[in-house]
Structure 1
Amino acid sequence: MKVYGARLSNSFSGEWELYVVTDGMSRDWPEHSFGRTGPVPTLQERADALAQLGYVLADSAGWQWQECPNGAMRRVHLLASASVRRKDGAA
């Protein structure tokens, strides 16, 4: 069963978005916008968004958070990642 990387980010427009990296070259990845800048989407909201895109968390996967600073006085962007797999088990 193939595993992909899901990303939850607020880095570009400031609104939370979730996308699944399906290959290394394309930028045409499945994505979901939460349409808000805060609060951070809950675990259930993330699971629902993944399901709408056709994915679920991989076995025993959890979200790992990373701060992406843009300088000492600027807003810090957050990025979370998790391993996911297709809901239907397809590669």
Structure 2
Amino acid sequence: MTTADTFTAQMSITRDTGRWRLYVVIYGELVSEWPEYVFDGATVPSVQDRSRALNTLGYTFTVGPVWNWTEDHVPGDDPTGPVRLIASVPAREVAT
């Protein structure tokens, strides 16, 4: 659960490029796109790389760099289809 000043940072691999992307989910505000950082290569980024990317976007971890991993079946709920891994962590804006 997030509070008004807490957001969810998520990371998943893109289907079109095969690269990992980190993005900050922003609900309730008029934004055309969520802040996003795309990593080079298909290797899962380290926790340190994720932290640096999050800082580049103007955010930081709220409770430490422990990411929760879930899986989603693509397409839909087909258990025989490919699995998409999604990581998430609470984040907050860095004070300026």
Spell out the pairing of 1:1-91 with structure 2 (5 A cutoff).
Answer: 2-13=5-16, 14-24=18-28, 26=31, 28-37=33-42, 39-60=43-64, 62-70=66-74, 71-88=78-95
1:35 is displaced (CA, Å) by 2.5
- List, as ranges, runs of 4+ consecutive aligned residues in structure 1 with deviation greater than 6 Å: none
Deviation per CA, 1:60-84: give whole Å up to 9, x if none: 4621000112345543211001100
Amino-acid identity (%): 34
State the distance in 2 between where 1:27 and 1:68 align: 25
Deviation per CA, 1:27-74: give whole Å up to 9, x if none: 51000000322x211000000000000000012462100011234554
Structure 1: stretches of 5+ with no match in the other structure? none
Work out whether residues 7 and 91 of structure 2, in 8 Å CA contact, stay in contact via their aligned partners in 1.
Answer: yes
Q: The residue matched to 2:40 in structure 1 has which SS?
A: coil
Q: The residue matched to 1:45 in structure 2 has which SS?
A: helix
Structure 2: stretches of 5+ with no match in the other structure? none
1:15 is displaced (CA, Å) by 1.3
What is the aligned length?
A: 88
Q: 1:52 to 1:5 in 2, by over 3 A?
A: same
